[in-house]
Amino acid sequence: MKIYHTTQGLRKKLDQLPATSSIGFVPTMGALHQGHVSLVKTALKENSQVVVSIFVNPTQFDNATDLQKYPRTIEEDASLLEKTSSHIIVFAPTPAEIYGNNIVSKAYNFDGLENEMEGKHREGHFDGVGTVLNHLFRIVTPAKAYFGEKDFQQLQIVRSLVKIEKLPVQIVGCPILREKSGLAMSSRNARLTNVQRREAAFIFKTLTTIKENFNHKSIPALTRMAEEAFRKNPHLRLEYFEIAHANTLKTAKRKQKNAPYRAFVAAFSGEVRLIDNMALT
Ligand code: PAF
């Protein structure tokens, strides 16, 4: 599989495609798993050409060690993509290729979406995500781009980004892929021991219980119920549990008729931070 490392090389390839081609784009940071493969498969169904980027974006990390420790498995990633289809174009640029010699992010205002949940715990994270995607969208020029609902806040922010930057790309949200136990697939799961991996399924189980109780309990009662369940679990340390409006991502205090709600969790298993969420309505 040919991997393009420069914008010039990638553009040359893309510019040779027939004018009628539609490019589907799956941006990733590598360490690919079946969740990514499912995004790629959806993109392959809906487009004549699919580009997957593999780029560990320095500006979205608020912690240098985390950035350094992020798994880089380009060969395994390329072979997983090769097995999926021989028609995928891989773009794996260097930081200099994307940022030149100024590795900084732009300051965005995503209408407050950036200040909720993940935004409170990972300073500057969404500015970094917005900045790199703005660069990548302009390089790849996709008709559609695919994002997993596991990072639901990111998905809503990307929808806001393309409006702010007036980018002609359709953002497609794809359902969370789960392991048999219910654990949401994530590159970070590879860092869990077998026991941690088994115990982490508790996150999905708690979300499921909250969903089952959604119609007959108040939002504060449901929140207390989830927090209490985590308190009793010695394997996971809860960072936050929130029930929020799916569009504004603002914490919901009481239910409003026909409004879309979702429950969101961030919890640590040892040093590994896991996030998950579930639609409640
Ligand atoms: O979700 C991710 O892997 C990253 O945040 C993304 C969208 C590839 C931007 O670096």
Judged by DSSP in three states, 193 sits in coil
Residue 179 has pLDDT above 90, yes or no: yes
151 close to ligand 1 (CB < 6 Angstrom): yes
Are 186 and 265 contacting, i.e. CB atoms less than 8 angstroms apart? no
Domains along the sequence of the chain with CATH: 3-174 (3.40.50.620), 187-279 (3.30.1300.10)
Predicted local confidence at residue 164, as pLDDT: 98
Can you read off the two tokens belonging to residue 117?
Answer: 């949940």
118 lines ligand 1 (CB under 6 A): no
Say if residue 213 is exposed, middle or buried (CB neighbours under 10 Å; 0-12, 13-18, 19+): middle
Instruction: List phi, psi (to 5°) of 271.
Output: -95, -5
Instruction: Summarize the annotated binding site for ATP as residue ranges.
Output: 29-36, 148-151, 177, 185-188
The alpha carbon of 60 and the centre of ligand 1 are apart by a number of angstroms equal to 9
> For ligand 1, what atom is nearest to the CA of residue 133?
9
DSSP H or E run through 241: strand 237-245
pLDDT of 267 reads 98
The rounded percent of the chain whose pLDDT value lies above 90 is 95
Is 28 close to ligand 1, i.e. is its CB under 6 Å away?
A: yes
Among 17-21, 66-70, 259-263, which is the least confidently predicted range? 66-70
Express each pLDDT in 103-142 by its tens digit: 999 999 999 999 999 999 999 999 999 999 999 999 999 9
DSSP readout, 91-148? E---HHHHHTT---------TTGGGSHHHHHSTTHHHHHHHHHHHHHHHH--SEEEEE
Average of pLDDT values for 36-59?
98
CB of 156 closer than 8 Å to CB of 119: no
> How much is the average pLDDT of 257-276?
97
Tell me 175's DSSP state.
P
36 included as an active-site residue: yes
Which pLDDT belongs to residue 89? 98
Look at ligand 1, atom 8, and give the residue with the nearest C-alpha.
Answer: 28
What pLDDT score does 178 carry?
Answer: 98
Q: How confident is the model at residue 1 (pLDDT cuts 50, 70, 90)?
A: confident
DSSP string, 133-158: HHHHHHHH--SEEEEEGGGHHHHHHH
Residue among 36, 121, 125, 245 flagged as catalytic:
36
Q: Kindly give the distance from the C-alpha atom of residue 166 to the centroid of ligand 1, in angstroms, as a whole number.
A: 20
pLDDT at residue 163, as a whole number? 98
